[in-house]
Structure 1
Amino acid sequence: MCLGIPGELVEMATDDTDLALVSVAGVRRRVNVGLLTEEEDLAVGDWILIHVGFALAKIDEAEAQAALQMLHDMGPAFDQEIADFAQSDVG
Structure 2
Amino acid sequence: MGRRERPLAEDGGVVTRFAAGLRKLRADAGKPTFRELARRAHYAAGTLSEATGGKKLPTLAVTTAFVRACGGDVRAWEAHWRAADAALATERDEEQAAPGD
Structure-2-length-normalised TM-score: 0.27
Judging by fraction of residues, say which structure has more helix. Answer: 2
Higher strand share: 1
